[in-house]
Amino acid sequence: MSGVKVGIGLPNTVPGTSGALLVEWARRADTGPFATVAVLDRLVYDSIEPFAALSAAAAVTSRVRLATNIAIGPLRAPAVLAKQALAVDALSDGRFTLGLGVGARRDDYEAAGVDRRTRGAVLSEQLAFLRGRLDASGIGPARPPVELLVGGSSGAAFARMARYADGYAHGGGPPRAFGSAAARARAAWRDLDRPGDPRLWGQGYLALGDPDRGRAYLRDYYAFTGPFAEKIAAGALTSARAVKDFVRGYEAEGCDELILYPTVADLDDLDRLAEAVG
Amino acid sequence: MRVTVVGAGPSGLYLAILLKKADPGHEITVLERNAPDATFGWGVVFSEETLGALRDADYPSYLEITDSFARWTSIDIRYRGRVLRSSGHTFSAIRRTHLLDILQRRARSLGVSLRFGVEVSPAELSTADQVDLVVAADGANSTLRRTGSFGTSSTPQGCKYVWFGTDLVLDAFTFIFAPTDAGLFQVHAYPFDEHTSTFIVETTEATWRRAGLDQMSEEDSMAFCAELFARDLAGHRLMSNRSIWLDFPLVRNTHWHGRTEVGNVVLLGDAAHTAHFSIGSGTKLAMEDAIALANSFVRQPGDLEAALVDYELERQPVVERFQQAAGDSAAYFGRVESYLGLAPIQFAFNLLTRSGRISHANLTQRDPQLVRVLDAWFAADAAGTDRIRPGEVAAPPMFAPLRLGGLTVRNRFVRAGGDPVAAAGTGAGLVLTGFVAVSEDGRTTPSCPLLDESWAPLVERVHAAGALAGVRLGHAGRRGAVRESGVDVPLREGWPLLSASPLPYAPFCAVPAEMTEADMDRVRAEFVAAAERAAVAGFDVLELDLADGYLLASFLSPLSNRRTDVHGAERTRFPLSVVDAVRAVWPADRVLAARLTATDWAPGGLTVADGVEHARVVAAHGIDLVHVRAGHSSAASRPEYRRGYLTALSDRIRTEAGVPTLVGGYLTTPDEVNTALAAGRADLCLFDPPPTPLEASL
C-alpha cells in the first residue's frame, strides 16, 4: 500500500522555456529520485507540444517513465494521436504512459476546429480505437499496449476510465479532493467488473524558489477558470515542508504516482524538489 | 470601506456587526424594507458547531443569544400511536424576532446605520453615494440578485409546507406522522423559547389537493391542521403568522459575486443558496456566510476582488454538501408514505439516517441505547419474531442471518467475483461468481466461463467454508466478443452477436443481429439447460443477469429495444419468459435472484419508476431477490459514483416493489452495510473492503 512514486513535470507549459532547458530538465530528472517525467497540454498558449517535448526527453533519458498527464485527446484525430503515442513509446523503448482527457478550454477546441460539444463521446471513441482497432489499422510501429490513463470528474468520465483505461489521472487539489475522486474511480472500476484496482495518478504545482512568480504563472495559466485561478495559485507548494506534507497526504489517500509540476522554469526548483523527496 | 447591506435578516445584520468590529472606520449601512419588528417564521435552530463559530466571531451577541436559547437533546418520532425517543443529539433554537432584536441592538451600538421601512430600487442604489460593496442579503427571492448574472436557479423542492407557531412547549425535536384518507401529513416541530414551539406541517402536493387544502382559506387550513393534530397539540393552539402553504425554493448560484449596475455585489445567505428546512440549516448557513465574508476581508486586506473570491471558494463547497444532504432529506419526506410499513424502530432509524449525516456507527455514539435495541430488534426480526427481552444484546445487522426462499444465509454480507473459495473464507454469507455464460456465443470474452461440470467441486469448497454459493448466469448479447483488456473493446475476430435490436453497444463494437423468435427459443433453452447444470453443481442461488446492457437487459430498456413487434410493445415479454422457464426447473427451495436495472441514467432510458415496476413484475414471476444495478444499458449512460450510490435505488425497489434486495455500489465499511440494512434499504450488501497493510503486518 505505502510508497507513492513521485514524478516531476517538464516546464513545457511555462512560457519562454527553451529547448536546451527542457532537455537539461529531463536529463537531470532521469538522474534524480523521480519515477516519471510528465507534460501538460495546451494549444492556445505559449507552450511546447507534449509529444514533441516527451520525444526530446526520450532521447536524453533511459530510466524514467514519460507521461502525458493529460493530453487533450479530442484535439487530435484518433489515428494521428495513436501515431504520436506509438512514436514516443518506441523512442523511449516502452517507457510511455498516455494520459488523456477532454481538457477544459473552449479556445483550444475553436483553434483546432473541433466541436467541443461531443468531446466526451469523441474521447471514448479514441480510447476504443487505441485499445482495439489500432492493431489492425496498419499504423505502426507495432508496440505492446501503452499504459492508458483517463482524467475527468463527471460520472461519465469515471465510467470511460473504467471501461478503457488502466488508471485515473486526477486534475489536482488537496489530498482530500484526490481521495474523494479516488473513491469514485474505484467505484467505477468495480461497477464495470474490472479485476484489481485502477492505477491512481495525482498532481500538484511547485513554486519553491520564487513563489510569487510561480503563483503569477498559475493565475495566468488558469485565468480562463475565473475565481479558481486564485485557488490553484494558493495551492502551489512553496516549501520543502509543504511538499513532504502533500506527498504524505496523497500517499494516505492511496495515490500510486504523484506528479509535481514546475511553475518557474528554473533548474534549481528541480534540485529543491529532488532534495525534498529524495 | 463603504458597504451597503440590503436586507436586515440574521446574515445581513451579522455581517454588518463583524465588519464594523473589524474596522470602526468602515461605513456600514443596512437597508430593510420591513419594520424592525416584522418577521416571518417562528424559531430558528442552531447546531453546537455554529454556536462555536458565533462565540469566536462576536462574544457579546453570542452571550445574549445563548442566554435566551431553548436547548434540548432528544428527537421524538410519533408514529403508529407510539413515541420513539432518540437521545444524545444537541439542538438549540431561538425566537427569530428575538435574534434579530439582539443583532439590531449590537449593530447600532457599534455604529452601524440601520434604516427600516426603506425599499430601495437598484436604480436608486446605483445613483446613491458611491459605495465599495453592495451585499445582497435580501433573501431567497433577492431582487438585487436580478441586477447581475450570477447563474441563478430557483426550483421548487420537496413537499407543500406551512409554518405555524404553537403554545405547546415541546421538550424534543418532534416528528409526527399522521396518515389520513387523503394521504400522509407530517410535522416538524421544536421549541424555541419557554412559551412557544415552531410547528411545520408538510405533505405531498397530491395529498394536499386531495385534502382540499388548495381551496381553503388561511384560517380554514389552520383549523384543518389543528384538528388533524389535536391529540398531539393536547389542547394547545396553533398560531398563524402569514401561515400559508408554500413550495420550498431550492436556490443555487454559480457565481456569488460580480459587478452589476449597482456596483460590486456579493450574495449572502438565502440570496446565495437555500437548504431544505427539514435539515434546519438555513439560518446557520447564512450566519456562517457572514463570518466567512468578514474573515475574507481580514485575510485579503485592501483587495476587494481577492476577498470576494476567497469568500466564495470557502463557502461554496460547504454549502454544496449541505444542499446535497438537504436534497436527500427533502426527497425522503416526499416519499415517506412508502415507509409506513416499517416497524417503528426501523422507521425511526431510517428517518434519522435520511440525509446520510448520521450512520449506524455515529448513532451508536450519540444514542447507544437506541442502537442496542435496534440491533436486538433486527436480530429478532431476522429470527422471525418481533419481541425482544429487556436488556437483550445482538450483533450488528450485518451478522443477522437472512431467510430467503427455503434457505438461510448466515449473515448479510456478500462477496462477488474473484475466487469464490477465498471469498467464502472472508466470512461472507453468500459468494457470487462473476459473469458465467449460458452458451459459447453468450460469452463476454474468450475466457469467460461457461456453466460446465467444473463448478461442482468449487461449490463444495464454498459450502465447506460455511457460505452459500451463487452463480451469475447471463448471455452477453451485444456486449459479447470483447477483449480481456478493458471492457467493450471488440475482438479482431469475434463471433456473431444477438440483441433486441441491431444497435452496436460502444464504438467499433459489432452490430448484433435482431433476435428472431427462433433465437429466443434457443437462448431460453440454453438458460434452462444451464440452470439445470447449476442445480446439479449444487449452487444455492441462481442469479439471472437482466442488467448492465446484456442480452436480457437489451429487451427491457427503450434505449436498446427499438423493435416494432410484440417485444417492442411489451419489452418484458422475452426476459419474463426466460424467468418463467428457469423458475420451472430451478429447485423451489433454492433462491432465484435477478440482477435488474433500477434506472438507465440516460435520457430516454428507464426511470426509477420503470425499475420499480420491473422489480414488481419479476417478483410476481418467482424472483426471490433483486440485485439492484443501474446504468450501462447504453455505453453513454451517466452514472453517479458518489458514496453508496446504489443504496437509494435499492431502498426504492425494496420499499415500493416489496421485494428483498441485494445492493453493492462500493460499500467499503461495515458501517455503510449496517446502516443500509438497519434502515431497511437492502436485505443483503456486497461488501468491498479495500486492502490494508494492517492485514500483512499481523
The whole-angstrom separation of Cα A90 and Cα A106 is: 32
Q: What is the DSSP string of B362-419?
A: HHHHH-HHHHHHHHHHHHHHHTT-----TT-----GGGS-EEETTEEESSSEEEESS-
CA distance A257 to A166: 13
Q: Chain A residue with minimal CA distance to B548?
A: A192
CA distances from B403 to B409, B430, B589, B590, B660 (A): 6, 12, 11, 11, 10
B641 to A194: CB separation less than 8 angstroms, yes or no: no
Sign of CA dihedral A202, A203, A204, A206: positive
CA distance B459 to B495: 30
**Of all helices (H) and strands (E), which one includes residue B684?**
strand B684-687
- Residue A228's pLDDT band (cuts 50, 70, 90): confident
Q: What single DSSP character describes residue B460?
A: H
Q: Residue B698 corresponds to which amino acid?
A: L
Percent share of chain A, pLDDT over 90: 91
The pLDDT score that the predictor gives to residue B299 is: 85
- Site of grid cell 507495432: A142
Q: Which residue do the cell numbers 416571518 mark?
A: B40
Tell me which residue of B99, B27, B95, B29 sits closest to B61, measured CA to CA.
B99
pLDDT in tens, B99-140: 999 999 999 999 999 999 988 887 777 766 689 999 999 999
For chain B, how are helix, strand and coil distributed in percent, rounded to 5?
40, 25, 40
Interface test with B, best of A119, A134, A135, A193 (most B CBs within 10 A): A193
Whether A274 and A241 have beta carbons less than 8 Å apart is answered as no
Strand-pair category, B184-191 with B246-253 = unpaired
Calpha distance B552→B545 (Å, rounded): 7
- Select from B508, B635, B666 the Cβ nearest to the Cβ of A187: B666
pLDDT in the model for residue B127: 66
Topology (CATH level 3) of domain A5-277:
TIM Barrel (3.20.20)
Name the residue among B486, B640, B692 with its Cβ closest to that of A1: B692
Contacts of B313 in chain A (CB under 8 A): 227-228, 230-231
In angstroms, the CA A81 to CA A70 distance is: 13
Chain A contact set for B492 (CB, 8 A):
132, 135-136
Report DSSP state, residue B588: T
- How confident is the model at residue B372, as a pLDDT? 98
Q: Do B508 and A128 touch (CB under 8 A)?
A: yes
CA distance, residue B487 to nearest chain A CA (Å) = 5
What is the per-residue pLDDT across B557-602, written as a single tens digit (0 to 9) for each? 999 999 999 999 999 999 999 999 999 999 999 999 999 999 999 9
- Would strands B413-416 and B430-437 be described as parallel, antiparallel, or unpaired? parallel
Answer yes or no: do A1 and B639 touch at CB < 8 A.
Answer: no
What is the per-residue pLDDT across B282-304, written as a single tens digit (0 to 9) for each? 999 999 999 999 999 998 888 89
Residue from B14, B339, B505, B550 carrying the catalytic annotation: B550
> What residue in A sits closest to B664 (Cα-Cα)?
A191
Q: For residue B509, give the DSSP letter.
A: P
Q: Let me know if B550 is a catalytic residue.
A: yes
Residue of B nearest to A132 (CA): B489
Dmax (CA) of chain A: 51
Which residues are CB-contacts of B399 (< 8 A; sequence separation ≥ 6)? B411, B412
CB contact (8 A) between residue A195 and residue B306? no
The dihedral sign for the CA sequence B297, B303, B304, B305: negative
User: What number is the ipTM of this complex?
Assistant: 0.94
Among B312, B665, B691, whose Cβ lies nearest the Cβ of A187?
B665
CB atoms within 10 A of CB B447: 7
Pick from A132, A133, A227: CB nearest B313: A227
Burial class (CB in 10 A: 0-12, 13-18, 19+), B117: exposed
Chains A, B: CB contacts within 8 A come to 103
DSSP string, B224-271: HHHHHTHHHHTT--EE-SS---EEEEEEEES-SEEEETTEEEEE-GGG
Strand A36-39 relative to strand B70-72: parallel, antiparallel, unpaired? unpaired
| CB burial string B549-577: b at 16+ within 10 A, e below | bbbbbbbbbbbbbebeeebeeebbebbbe
**Domains observed in chain B:** 2-333 (3.50.50.60), 431-641+649-662 (3.20.20.70)
Model confidence at A2: pLDDT above 80: no
Which 3 state secondary structure label does DSSP give B133? Answer: strand
- Asked if A162 and B487 come within 8 Å (Cβ–Cβ), the reply is yes
* A122: closest CA of chain B, how far (Å): 10
What residue in B sits closest to A187 (Cα-Cα)?
Answer: B666
Q: What are the grid coordinates assigned to A134, written together?
A: 489500432
Residues in chain A, how many?
A: 278
Say how far apart CA B397 and CA B409 lie, in whole Å.
13
What is the per-residue pLDDT across A151-198, written as a single tens digit (0 to 9) for each?
999 999 999 999 999 999 999 999 999 999 999 999 999 999 999 999
**From CA B103, how far away is CA B137, in angstroms rounded?**
15
Closest CB from B312, B639, B690 relative to A227: B312
CB count within 10 Å of CB B320 equals: 12
pLDDT at position B143 over 60? yes
pLDDT at residue B280 tops 80:
yes
Q: Give the chain A residue whose CA is nearest to the CA of B632.
A: A192
Distance from CA of B545 to the nearest CA of A (A): 14
What's the pLDDT score for residue B497? Answer: 98
Q: How many Cβ atoms are within 10 Å of B434's Cβ, its own excluded? A: 15
Partners of residue A203 on adjacent β-strands:
A259
- Quickly tell me which residue has 487530435 as its cell: A76
Percent of chain B with pLDDT over 90: 86
pLDDT digits (tens, 9 = 90+) for B398-456: 999 999 989 999 999 999 998 999 999 999 999 999 999 999 999 999 999 999 989 99
Interface test with A, best of B641, B645, B687, B697 (most A CBs within 10 A): B641
Residues of A in contact with B598 (CB under 8 A): none
User: Taking all residues of chain B, what is their mean pLDDT, rounded to a whole number?
Assistant: 95
Q: Does B636 touch chain A (CB under 8 A)?
A: yes
Cβ contact A155–B641 (<8 Å): yes
Q: Which three cell numbers stand for residue B402?
A: 437472512
Q: What residues of A are in the B interface, CB distance below 8 Å? A: 1-2, 121, 124-125, 128-129, 131-133, 135-136, 145, 154-156, 158-159, 162-165, 183-184, 186-188, 190-195, 197, 226-228, 230-231, 254
Of B309, B418, B643, nearest to A227 by CB-CB distance is B309
The contacts of residue B557 (CB under 8 Å, 6+ apart) are B549, B571, B597, B600, B605, B606, B633, B634
A1 pLDDT exceeds 70? Answer: no
Nearest CB to B507 within list A2, A124, A191: A124
Query: SS3 string of B84-113?
Result: EEECCCCEEEEEHHHHHHHHHHHHHHHCCE
With CB atoms and an 8 Å threshold, state whether A135 touches B489: no
Cβ atoms B176, B232 nearer than 8 A: yes
DSSP string covering chain A? ----EEEEE-STTSTT--HHHHHHHHHHHHHTT-SEEEE---SSSS---HHHHHHHHHHH-SSSEEEEEEEEGGGS-HHHHHHHHHHHHHHTTS-EEEEEE--S-HHHHHHHT--STTHHHHHHHHHHHHHTGGGGTT-SS--SPPEEEEE-SSHHHHHHHHHH-SEEE-----HHHHHHHHHHHHHHHHHTT-SS--EEEEEEEE--S-HHHHHHHHHHHTGGGTTHHHHHHHT-B-SHHHHHHHHHHHHHTT-SEEEEEESS--HHHHHHHHHHH-
B631 shares contact with chain A (CB less than 8 Å): yes
B452 by Cβ neighbours in 10 Å (0-12 / 13-18 / 19+) ranks as exposed
CA B582, B584, B586: angle at the middle one, nearest 5?
Answer: 65
Buried b (16+ CB within 10 A) or exposed e, A67-92: bbbbbbbbbbebeebbbbbbbbbbbb
Q: Which residues of B touch A142 (CB under 8 A)?
A: none
Say which of A133, A184, A192 has its CB closest to residue B508: A133
DSSP label at residue B174 = E
| Contacts with B635 from chain A: Cβ below 8 Å | 124, 163
Mean pLDDT of B531-535: 98
| Residue owning grid cell 459575486 | B257
- Are the Cβ atoms of B313 and A183 closer than 8 angstroms? no
SS3 assignment, position B444:
coil
- CA torsion angle for B274, B278, B283, B286 (degrees, to 10)? -30
The larger pLDDT score, comparing residue B122 to residue A42, is at A42
Q: Tell me the per-residue pLDDT of B63-96, one tens digit each, with 9 for 90 and over.
A: 999 998 889 999 999 998 899 999 999 889 999 9
Please give the Cα distance from B308 to B566 (Å, whole number): 61
Query: Which residue from A1, A131, A165 is facing B691, i.e. has the nearest CB?
Result: A1
Q: Is B508 in Cβ contact with A132 (below 8 Å)? A: yes
Report the distance separating Cα B17 and Cα B58, nearest Å.
8
Q: Please indicate whether, in this complex, the C-beta atoms of A1 and B313 are within 8 angstroms of each other.
A: no
Cβ atoms of B213 and B245 within 8 Å: the answer is: yes
CB < 8 Å from A in window 389-448 of B: 417-418, 434-435
| A-chain residues near B664 (CB < 8 A) | 190
CA distance A17 to chain B (A): 30
Q: If contacts are CB pairs under 8 Å, which of residues 239-278 in chain B contact chain A?
A: 255
Bridge partner residues of A96 (DSSP): A66
Per-residue pLDDT tens digits for A18-41: 999 999 999 999 998 999 999 999
CB contact under 8 A, A131 and B312: no
Per-residue pLDDT at B488 exceeds 50: yes
Query: Domain limits of chain A?
Result: 5-277
Mean per-residue pLDDT, A126-154: 94
| Residues of B with Cβ-Cβ distance to A145 under 8 angstroms | 485
CB contact under 8 A, B485 and A159: no
Q: What is the DSSP string of B601-623?
A: -STTS--HHHHHHHHHHHHHTT-
Report yes or no: B691 at the A interface, CB cutoff 8 Å.
Answer: yes
Number of Cβ atoms within 10 Å of the Cβ of A239: 13
